[in-house]
């Protein structure tokens, strides 16, 4: 199986490094020709300091080598994924397309695997998700991920192809649960960062994580996900990681909101867009999503941190 990776950021590059360790030839595509030239020259990516790119990784800004692969990992932001798929749908037709991004498309209101299914109907859509930081993957540290593919036979093939000595891949056919678990945990990570940034303490963060998880489940189950998926790596596992570590961009964004600090506008924060999508879905489906709604209002500048926290703390008392 020829494996290509679309996206030369930290996560796409980390996957290339991990997959190349076992001797696989990996095609890595990045949009910026200048960034590609620098990566070719130094055999490194500045977003992954101290990590060498082996000669098994062919780095290119040209799309032809990428489209020559029968399996393409899509490590590009969820909000730009539809444009990429639409632009190249003819050349992606018939391929195994594995989404490696997490979020809900604001225009289509779908997760990455569903977006692939809708825009490239001749492809096999799949989702690779779970508790993982690019730096850990690139350094060869043990990482467990979920590979979701509705076609279980192809899912098993992809599971074998993407598993390495450091990447342990678990398989499911529940693509909806996998994509929603990965998307919704980013919103909770922002909320957790806000709690710590506002100096509410570790106990408040634990409460947010605990109450945030059933909130995730309510929406996911309403949209057809399976309960076990949300309780696994792509849901609860990813939730714990991103809500407790500054390695998470969404958590760092929440910290900035909580402290009133500036945040790098060039950093992709999928949870901000996801929160707005969730607020709309929750309204349409009449589902109570207080944490997601507050985060959406904050990222839209419709409220401030103090008011948002008071809104959550003043909710009616009820049974757990």
pLDDT in tens, 67-110: 999 999 999 999 999 999 999 999 999 999 999 999 999 899 99
Return the pLDDT at 308. 85
* Contact yes or no for 128/182 (Cβ under 8 A): no
78: exposed, middle or buried (Cβ count in 10 Å: 0-12, 13-18, 19+): buried
Q: How far apart are CA 248 and CA 243, in angstroms?
A: 8
The model's pTM = 0.94
Out of 95, 185, 302, 318, which one is annotated catalytic?
Answer: 185
Q: How far apart are CA 178 and CA 184, in angstroms?
A: 10
For residue 287, what are its two tokens?
């589902």
Stated as kind and residue range, the H or E segment containing 58 is strand 57-60
Q: How far apart are CA 180 and CA 43, in angstroms?
A: 35
Q: How far apart are CA 163 and CA 165, in angstroms?
A: 7
What does the pLDDT average to over 18-41?
94
The vertex-291 CA angle with 290 and 296, nearest 5°, equals: 95
* Superfamily per CATH, domain 3-173: NAD(P)-binding Rossmann-like Domain (3.40.50.720)
- Mean pLDDT, rounded, of the chain: 94
Q: Do domains 3-173 and 183-313 have the same CATH topology?
A: no
What CATH fold (topology level) applies to the domain 183-313?
A: 1.10.1040
Residue 146's beta-bridge partner residues? 129, 170
> Residue 236 in 3-state DSSP?
helix
Domain ranges of the chain: 3-173, 183-313
The predicted-structure confidence for 141-155, as pLDDT tens digits, reads as follows 999 999 999 999 999
Residue 185: active-site member: yes
């Amino acid at each position: 199986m020829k494996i290509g990776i679309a996206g030369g950021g930290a996560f796409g590059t980390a996957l290339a490094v991990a997959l190349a360790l076992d001797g696989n030839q990996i095609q890595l595509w990045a949009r910026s020709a200048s960034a590609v030239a620098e990566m070719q020259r130094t055999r490194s990516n500045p977003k992954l300091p101290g990590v060498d790119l082996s000669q098994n990784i062919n780095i290119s800004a040209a799309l032809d080598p990428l489209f020559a692969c029968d399996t393409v990992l899509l490590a590009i932001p969820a909000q730009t994924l539809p444009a990429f798929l639409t632009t190249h749908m003819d050349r992606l037709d018939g391929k195994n397309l594995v989404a490696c991004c997490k979020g809900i498309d604001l225009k289509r209101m779908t997760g990455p695997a569903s977006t692939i299914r809708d825009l490239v109907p001749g492809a096999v859509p799949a989702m690779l998700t779970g508790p993982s930081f690019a730096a850990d993957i690139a350094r060869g540290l043990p990482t467990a991920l979920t590979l979701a593919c509705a076609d279980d036979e192809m899912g098993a093939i992809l599971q074998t192809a993407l598993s390495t000595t450091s990447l342990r891949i678990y398989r499911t056919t529940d693509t909806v649960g996998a994509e929603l678990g990965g998307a919704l945990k980013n919103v909770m990570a922002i909320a957790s960062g806000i709690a710590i940034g506002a100096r509410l303490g570790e106990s408040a963060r634990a409460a947010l994580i605990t109450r945030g998880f059933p909130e995730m489940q309510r929406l996911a189950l309403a949209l057809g996900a399976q309960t076990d998926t949300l309780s696994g790596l792509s849901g609860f596992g990813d939730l714990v990681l991103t809500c407790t570590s500054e390695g998470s961009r969404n958590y760092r964004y929440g910290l900035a909101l909580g402290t009133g600090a500036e945040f790098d506008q060039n950093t992709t924060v999928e949870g901000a867009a996801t929160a707005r999508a969730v607020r709309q879905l929750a309204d349409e489906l009449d589902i109570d999503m207080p944490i997601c709604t507050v985060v959406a209002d904050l990222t839209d500048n419709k409220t401030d941190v103090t008011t948002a926290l008071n809104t959550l703390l003043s909710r009616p008392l009820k049974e757990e």
